Amino acid sequence: MRRKSIILATVGIGAAALIGTAGYASAQDNGQPAGTGASHEFICAHLSEVQKLQADHLTLVGDRLALLNEAKTAAEQSGNTKAADRITNRIARVTDRQTKITDRQQKLAQACSAG
């Protein structure tokens, strides 16, 4: 029974790693946000809706960044350097996400104006 459990656990972990890798690879940005065929036409036809969603996401990320800055200030004032360092790392990730959203907005606008 124990050997069967170990084998099943190993297979499950391997499958999860394979699915995670496939999901990561499919989520990578290939530089063409709107594609070239029917998806390009659909996205450009609904450009205002997509831009609104992106703007909402950017607002959410900006609000999260403001809260993280407040939390960092509070951690520094209380002398908790470990928490301040973790929050600084989080701020860097959120700032990177904010940059990616802005870049995506610009690529989308260029793709639909050129098409």
94, two tokens: 């959120």
Which tokens sit at 115?
């098409």
Residue type at 85 in one-letter notation: D
Tokens 């690879």 belong to residue: 25
Residue 76 burial (CB count, 10 A): 14
On whether the pTM is more than 0.75, the answer is no
pLDDT of the chain, 115 residues: tens digit per residue: 566 565 555 555 655 555 655 554 445 444 544 456 778 888 888 888 989 999 999 999 999 999 999 999 999 999 999 999 999 999 999 999 999 999 999 998 888 887 5
